[in-house]
């Protein structure tokens, strides 16, 4: 689990552009009524105009352009962990009393920051009302983990920490252990099992040895997408920024560099970050309108260091790929989306942890480490379905028809470019420059 994706990548809905090929021998294309001038542009034409329209919805609120260091270091012991399910206890246990730290329902300290004295162990067991302390490996594993805030609500849904119900016998969708009915989704991971019911309830069952710091990203990522789906709203896997008077979605698979790019755009080009990772979009009067919601940006530690940020937000994950959460505060109101940038991080010799998951239109090289191409027609639709379909879940069951209408309307109205870069740090500035230039070149007509 890389923090954002609980279920592995796959495509359920795809465009078979070749399925009907080979039947054009008799019809002369020069007389075909649909003959048209393609609008693809090459990297050298990035400054050219892309067909563009103005939306009627204006942002109602602005965010600061440097959303850094706004998260206080928080230590919480979630009340949902106290009592209840003694036979499946996965309590987070810190070491040593924390002055002013987490407390239980009766306002008794339950957190520790150094190796606990045996008396403290006994005290802790009494507070928790269970025998969780016997899970020695779990306790050691969780040292320091509980600085992660554990949301009790996400997108208006209640988040409960309790045993998840069994998955359905006859799901309408399955993928790598995950399954769904029309209004409920179950998905497992090595850290926790999650059940999202309708638009009102998220149940999280933590598993022994699991990393609870991944709960937040899961809630703001997968669970949010599912809640949106249940509410009839589709979303793009991407981040939304305001560049000048344009709103740009930076889309891409996990690991493509979305969060890093938007932070670099904020720091170096005055971009306003509106929402990270999940961009809910509705088609209103034929125009794509984003409906942002409040959630943090999760940044890799090396990215934080490279960008020179001071971030004291919640830690997410373990080891070299751990992240920190950067709070963005309140969300803006609905805004029109003017441009979709699909980021592709390409490695000619990929690391096993970061495989090339998307083939770029044109592969970047050492001589040309960043390449921009316009994406048009069915290929644009293919990119959008990849960013929106959540391994087939978005179009599952009765949502197939509405997802088709949404995705084709979005692909028909949203100018799209692909920015492919070599997966190395020194391409970031050029990626940002290309995005800024492209957004500025959009036709205002």
The terminus-to-terminus CA distance of the chain in angstroms comes to: 44
Greatest pairwise CA separation for the chain in angstroms? 88
Q: Please pick, from the candidates 26, 100, 118, 308, the single residue that binds other proteins as defined by CB under 8 A.
A: 26
Residue 370 CB, nearest approach to other proteins (Å): 24
Is the Cβ–Cβ distance between 340 and 236 less than 8 Å? yes
Stretch that binds other proteins, among 24-32, 140-148, 160-168, 318-326 (CB under 8 A): 24-32
180 binds other proteins (CB under 8 A): no
Is the Cβ–Cβ distance between 237 and 252 less than 8 Å? yes
119 binds other proteins (CB under 8 A): no
Q: Which three-class secondary structure state does DSSP give residue 111?
A: coil
- Find how far residue 241's CA is from the centre of its chain: 14
Is the Cβ–Cβ distance between 393 and 173 less than 8 Å? yes
Of the two residues 164 and 393, which places its CB atom closer to other proteins in the complex?
393
Q: Identify the DSSP state of 267.
A: H
Of the two residues 37 and 60, which places its CB atom closer to other proteins in the complex?
37
Of the two residues 21 and 100, which places its CB atom closer to other proteins in the complex?
21
Buried b (16+ CB within 10 A) or exposed e, 115-124: ebeeebeebb
285 binds other proteins (CB under 8 A): no
Residue 53 CB, nearest approach to other proteins (Å): 13
23 binds other proteins (CB under 8 A): yes
Distance CA 157, CA 232 (A): 15
Cα–Cα distances (Å) from 253 to 69, 239, 275, in that order, read 26, 11, 16
Of the two residues 328 and 410, which places its CB atom closer to other proteins in the complex?
410
Which residues are within 8 A (CB) of 99 and not within 5 positions of it... i.e. 6 or more apart?
A: none
Cα–Cα distances (Å) from 343 to 219, 257, 277, 425, in that order, read 23, 7, 13, 14
Q: Which of residues 34-53 bind other proteins (CB under 8 A)?
A: 34-36, 38-39
Site string for other proteins, 379-418 (x = CB under 8 A): -xxx--x---------x----xx--xx--xx-xx------
Pairing of β 287-290 and β 335-336:
antiparallel
Q: Please pick, from the candidates 2, 9, 15, 433, the single residue that binds other proteins as defined by CB under 8 A.
A: 15
Q: Which of residues 325-384 bind other proteins (CB under 8 A)?
A: 376-378, 380-382
Q: Which three-class secondary structure state does DSSP give residue 35?
A: coil
Q: Which of residues 411-430 bind other proteins (CB under 8 A)?
A: 411-412
Give the count of residues interacting with other proteins (CB under 8 A): 41
Residue 377 CB, nearest approach to other proteins (Å): 4
Residue 383 CB, nearest approach to other proteins (Å): 11
Distance CA 51, CA 339 (A): 10
Of the two residues 350 and 412, which places its CB atom closer to other proteins in the complex?
412
Contacts with other proteins by CB under 8 A lie at 12-17, 19-29, 31-36, 38-39, 376-378, 380-382, 385, 395, 400-401, 404-405, 408-409, 411-412
């Amino acid at each position: 689990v890389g923090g954002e994706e609980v279920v592995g990548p796959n495509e359920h809905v795809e465009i078979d552009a070749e399925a009907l090929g080979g039947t054009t021998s008799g019809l002369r294309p020069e007389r075909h009524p649909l003959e048209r001038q393609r609008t693809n542009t090459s990297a050298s034409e990035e400054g050219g105009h892309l067909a563009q329209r103005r939306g009627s919805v204006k942002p109602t609120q602005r965010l600061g352009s440097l959303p850094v260091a706004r998260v206080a270091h928080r230590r919480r012991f979630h009340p949902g962990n106290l009592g209840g399910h003694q036979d499946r206890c996965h309590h987070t246990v810190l070491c040593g009393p924390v002055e002013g730290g987490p407390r239980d329902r009766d306002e008794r300290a339950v957190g520790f920051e150094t190796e606990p004295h045996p008396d403290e162990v006994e005290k802790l067991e009494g507070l928790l009302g269970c025998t969780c302390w016997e899970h020695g490996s779990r306790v050691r594993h969780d040292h320091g983990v509980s600085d992660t805030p554990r949301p009790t609500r996400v997108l208006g849904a209640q988040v409960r920490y309790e045993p998840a119900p069994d998955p359905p016998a006859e799901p309408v969708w399955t993928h790598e252990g995950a399954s769904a009915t029309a209004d409920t989704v179950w998905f497992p991971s090595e850290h926790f099992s999650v059940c999202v019911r309708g638009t009102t309830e998220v149940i999280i069952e933590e598993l022994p040895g699991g990393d609870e710091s991944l709960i937040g990203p899961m809630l703001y990522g997968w669970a949010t997408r599912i809640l949106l789906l249940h509410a009839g709203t589709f979303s793009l896997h991407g981040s939304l920024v305001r560049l000048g008077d344009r709103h740009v979605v930076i889309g891409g698979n996990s690991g493509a560099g979305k969060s890093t790019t938007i932070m670099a755009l904020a720091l170096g080009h005055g971009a306003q970050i509106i929402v990270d990772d999940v961009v809910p979009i509705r088609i209103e009067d034929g125009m794509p309108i984003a409906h942002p919601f409040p959630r943090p940006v999760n940044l890799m530690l090396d990215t934080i260091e490279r960008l020179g940020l001071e971030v004291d937000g919640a830690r997410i994950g373990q080891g070299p790929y751990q992240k920190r959460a950067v709070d963005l505060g309140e969300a803006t109101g609905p805004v029109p989306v003017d441009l979709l940038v699909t980021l592709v991080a390409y490695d000619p010799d990929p690391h096993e942890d970061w495989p090339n998951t998307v083939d770029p239109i044109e592969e970047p090289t050492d001589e040309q480490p960043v390449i921009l191409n316009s994406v048009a027609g069915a290929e644009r639709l293919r990119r959008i379905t990849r960013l929106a379909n959540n391994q087939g879940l978005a179009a599952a069951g009765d949502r197939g028809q509405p997802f088709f209408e949404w995705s084709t309307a979005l692909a028909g109205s949203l100018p799209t470019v692909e920015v492919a870069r070599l997966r190395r740090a020194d391409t970031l500035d050029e990626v940002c420059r290309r995005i800024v230039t492209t957004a500025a070149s959009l036709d205002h007509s």
